[in-house]
Amino acid sequence: MLLCPVLRNLTVRLWIALPPLFLGAATGVAALLAWPFDDGAPGFELSVPVLLGFAAGLALLTGGRVRWSNGWQRFGLRFGYPVTMFGGALTIDRIQVPLVPMLALGGTALALLAIFLMRNATTDPHCG
């Protein structure tokens, strides 16, 4: 089980959930790194273009490993979803996010991401 790739044979739902969970987990890590330098400000600056760009790249690179159920999904969703995120990366700049809620959100997103990916690896018929 340890040698099974966790991003093999993704379902459409897991593939759609992968970028938002990545964004939440990355935001949590950024909040954890910003916590020691907290100066009492209401939040910390988050670089949305970088995170959305990585999320779009993740969706684009893993789109070939999805079990698509409809023909329109194979092209429209596979490329439309990452292009939409990339468009958001080009239009949104840095934003202020609150530190403590982002720590909680990041921990939850990281735990869900790990659970979903490990479940995907254990239900893969090629791994055993």
Maximum pairwise Cα distance, the chain: 52
* Chunked mean pLDDT (size 10), the chain, 128 residues: 65 92 92 80 81 93 87 86 93 85 91 87 64
- Total residues belonging to the chain: 128
pTM, two decimal places = 0.82
HSE at residue 42, side-chain half, CA atoms within 13 A, is: 3
Report the pLDDT value the prediction gives residue 118, as an integer from 0 to 100. Answer: 82
Residue 120: both structure tokens together: 């995907």
85 Rama sector, left if φ>0, alpha if ψ -120 to 50, beta otherwise: alpha
Report the pLDDT value the prediction gives residue 33, as an integer from 0 to 100. Answer: 86
Report the pLDDT value the prediction gives residue 127, as an integer from 0 to 100. Answer: 62
Report the pLDDT value the prediction gives residue 1, as an integer from 0 to 100. Answer: 45
DSSP per position, 34-69 = HGGG--S-S-EEE-HHHHHHHHHHHHHHHGGGB---
Going along the chain, which residue ranges are E strands? Answer: 44-46, 95-97
Contact 81, 13 (CB under 8 A): no
d(CA 90, CA 29): 23
Report the pLDDT value the prediction gives residue 80, as an integer from 0 to 100. Answer: 93
Report the pLDDT value the prediction gives residue 36, as an integer from 0 to 100. Answer: 81
Report the pLDDT value the prediction gives residue 125, as an integer from 0 to 100. Answer: 62
